[in-house]
Amino acid sequence: MSTYTNFKIETDADGIALVTWDMPEKSMNVFTAEVMEELNAIVDATVADAAVKGVVFTSGKSTFSGGADLSMIKSMFSFYHEEKTKNPDEAAQKLFDLVGKMNGLFRKIETNGKPWVSAINGTCMGGAFELSLACHGRVASSAKSVKIALPEVKVGIFPGAGGTQRVSRLTDAQSALQMMTTGQSLTAQRAKAMNLVHEVVEPDQLISAAKQMIKDGLKPVAPWDERGFKAPGGGIWTPAAAQLWPAAPAILRRESAGNYPAALAILKCVYEGLQLPFDTALKVEQRYFTEILRSKEAFAMIRSLFISMQELGKGARRPAGQPKSDLKHVGVVGAGFMGASIAYVTAVAGLDVTLIDRDEEAAAKGKTTCEGLVKGSVDKGRMTPEEGAAILARITPTSDYNALKTANLVIEAVFEDRDVKKAVIEQVEA
C-alpha cells in the first residue's frame, strides 16, 4: 500500500490491516482536509486489496482524536460568505455539498464491504466518534482517560457527520438527545451500557480484542442497513415516544432560552430522521447542518469559544516583551461559595491554593464547600476518590495573610462592599 503523512498501515498474517492515525507535530489527531483525503484513499486501497480481510482503526497518540479541526469549520463560514457575494442562490447549495464530504466518507467506510473496527484508546470526541460509529465494531479501552462525546453543541454546531442518525439508532431517543444536546462526556463503561461501543477491555488488550472481532466473523453491515431494522424503543410511534417528543422542545427551551439553534436542530434531525430510510435521514442532517453553519450564533460561538480562546491561550494579547507567567501557588481571599469554587477549580488545574477569610472558622467553611464539590464529582464518576483527595490536599484554608507571600497570583472574592475590598487589598499588598 501507499505511504501516508497522517496514517501508518500494517497488515498482519490474518489479513487484518491496522490503520494507525498519528499526525506529525500534533499533540492530538484532528480531522483536516488532508486527513480526509488520505482516509478516503485508505478505504479505496483496503477494498481493492484482496489480502485485506478487515481493518482496525486506532490512534498512535495517547488520545484517539479531538474530532474536526474547528479552524476547518471556520473556513466553511468563510467559504459560504465568499460564495454568497458571487451568487447568493448557489452559495447554500455549495455549502451543502461541502458539508456532505465527511458524511459521505463515513458512509463509504460503513458500506465498503469489509469489516472495520474502531479501537478507542483515549479521548474520542466529535467527528472522531462519528467515524467510530460508522465502523462495524467499536472497542474501547477501560482506562480512566477514555472520554467519549459529541460536544459540538457547546461551540454552536451539532454532530453533522452522521452522529444524530447513528446514535439515535443505537440507543434510545431520550439518551441520544441527552448526550447530544448537552455535549456530555461518557466513560467507556457508560458508552457500552448505551450500546454505543461493543466491548470495553484492558488497555493492553485493545488491538487484539479489535482484531478478534473481525476473526470472529464481524458482519460488514450496519444494523440500519439490515432488513427489518427497528430503532431502540420502537422509533417515534410508541407510547414512550408520545411522552418524550411533545415535552422535548419545551424542556430545551427552558434550558437554553432559545439561544442555541444547534440544540433544536438536533431534535429535528433525530425526530425526522427516525421516520426515514438511513441515507435520506443523513440528507436531513446535512440540510440542518448547512442551515446552522449559516447562522450568526454558530459563527459567533466558534469564533469566541474556540478560535479566539486558542489565540488567547497562545498569548495573542500578551504585551510585547512580557514573559509568560508560571503559576504554581494561587491565593484566594474570600472563602464564600464563589471563592471556594475558584479555589476548587484552581486546585483541579493542579495549582496549590491558599484560601483566606476573616478567621479560621470561615476559611475552614470554604474548604468544606470544596469537599462537597469533590464528593459530587466522585459520586458522578468524574474523578476517583484518590484524585479528589489530591485536589483537597492542594487547598489550605487560613486567616493568615502571610501565607500569600509565595503566591504568584491573588484573586479577591470577598463580599461586594467597597470598604471590605479596600481593606482586603491593603492587607494583600502589605
Answer whether 0.75 is exceeded by the pTM.
Answer: yes
Contact between 385 and 342 (Cβ < 8 Å): no
Nearest residue to 125 (alpha-carbon basis) of 81, 177, 64: 64
177 pairs with which residues across the strands?
none
Burial of 182 (0-12, 13-18, 19+ CB in 10 A): middle
CATH fold of 7-304, please? 2-enoyl-CoA Hydratase; Chain A, domain 1 (3.90.226)
| Cα–Cα distance for residue pair 54/211, rounded to 1 Å | 8
| pLDDT in the model for residue 1 | 63
Cell, residue 232: 431502540
- pLDDT computed for residue 42 by the predictor: 96
Tell me if residue 192 falls in helix, strand or coil: helix
Integer Cα distance of 424 and 47 in angstroms: 70
Contact criterion met (CB below 8 Å) for 148 and 185: yes
* Per-position pLDDT tens, the chain of length 430: 678 999 999 999 999 999 999 999 888 999 998 999 999 999 999 999 999 999 999 999 999 998 877 778 778 878 888 888 888 888 889 888 888 999 999 999 999 999 999 999 999 999 999 999 999 999 999 998 899 999 999 888 899 899 999 999 999 999 999 999 999 899 999 999 999 999 999 999 999 999 999 999 999 999 999 998 998 888 888 888 888 888 888 998 888 888 889 999 999 999 999 999 999 999 999 999 999 988 888 888 888 877 788 788 888 888 888 887 888 999 999 999 999 999 999 999 999 999 999 999 999 999 999 999 999 999 888 889 999 999 999 999 999 999 999 999 999 998 888 888 888 888 888 7
Task: Tell me what pLDDT residue 145 has.
Answer: 87
Q: Which CATH fold topology does 329-429 show?
A: Rossmann fold (3.40.50)
Alpha-carbon span 61 to 21, nearest angstrom: 8
- 167 CB-near residues (< 8 Å, 6+ apart): 133, 150, 159, 176, 179, 180, 196
Nearest C-alpha neighbor of 270 from the set 250, 288, 257, 251: 288
Helix (H), strand (E) at residue 17 = strand 16-21
Question: CA–CA distance from 118 to each of 57, 139, 207, 316, 339 (Å)?
Answer: 5, 6, 9, 37, 43
What is the model's pLDDT at position 169?
95
DSSP characters for 360-420? HHHHHHHHHHHHHHHHHHHHTTSS-HHHHHHHHHTEEEES-GGGGTT-SEEEE---S-HHH
pLDDT of residue 311: 83
Distance CA 279, CA 16 (A): 28
Q: Which helix (H) or strand (E) holds 330?
A: strand 329-333
> Hey, where are the domains in the chain?
7-304, 329-429
Residues annotated as catalytic are 130, 152
pLDDT at 300 (0 to 100): 85
Q: What is the pLDDT of residue 179?
A: 93
Please name the amino acid found at residue 78: S
Rg (CA), the chain: 25
